[in-house]
């Protein structure tokens, strides 16, 4: 499965637009971007050593951990197109996995850890 960059960005936008409005209203200083592959620094930050296993990455200070938070760069959520495509043989599966990955990374922005995400079915 291989989508154009624009088509993939469109899927990410659809996933964001499909989130509950109150989630989107509570997101604070956070950019969502796409990238083909994770770089070596992102792989180090993620939980996997393989570039095929890292589907998304949240980089920032979760809302639950913010004390003094002024004049800082935005948090960043990155969705990695090629790893997502590699695990999904059909476009329908890419759409679903993008939706899950967007929700997973936004949950990290809200301070939800991987253990709780597993319980919620977003692990």
Using the Cα atoms of residue 107, residue 13, residue 96 and residue 41 in order, give the sign of their dihedral.
negative
With 90 as the cut, is the pLDDT of residue 1 above it? no
The total number of structural domains in the chain stands at 1
Report the pLDDT value the prediction gives residue 122, as an integer from 0 to 100: 65
Q: What is the pLDDT of residues 35-90, one digit of tens each?
A: 999 998 888 887 767 888 899 999 998 988 888 777 778 999 999 999 999 999 99
The enclosing domain of 26 has a CATH number of: 3.30.2010.20
Query: Which residue's structure tokens are 């329908």?
Result: 92
CB of 109 within 8 A of CB of 58? Answer: yes
Report the pLDDT value the prediction gives residue 84, as an integer from 0 to 100: 97
Which domain does 72 fall in, by range?
Answer: 5-119
Report the pLDDT value the prediction gives residue 123, as an integer from 0 to 100: 64
């Amino acid at each position: 499965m291989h989508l154009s960059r624009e088509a993939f960005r469109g899927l990410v936008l659809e996933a964001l637009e499909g989130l509950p409005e109150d989630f989107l209203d509570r997101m604070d200083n956070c950019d969502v971007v796409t990238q083909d592959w994770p770089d070596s620094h992102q792989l180090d930050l993620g939980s996997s050593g393989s570039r095929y296993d890292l589907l998304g990455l949240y980089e920032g200070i979760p809302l639950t951990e913010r004390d003094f938070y002024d004049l800082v760069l935005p948090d960043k959520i990155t969705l990695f197109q090629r790893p997502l495509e590699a695990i999904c043989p059909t476009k329908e599966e890419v759409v679903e996995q993008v939706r899950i990955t967007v929700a997973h990374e936004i949950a990290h922005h809200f301070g939800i850890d991987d253990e709780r995400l597993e319980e919620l079915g977003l692990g």
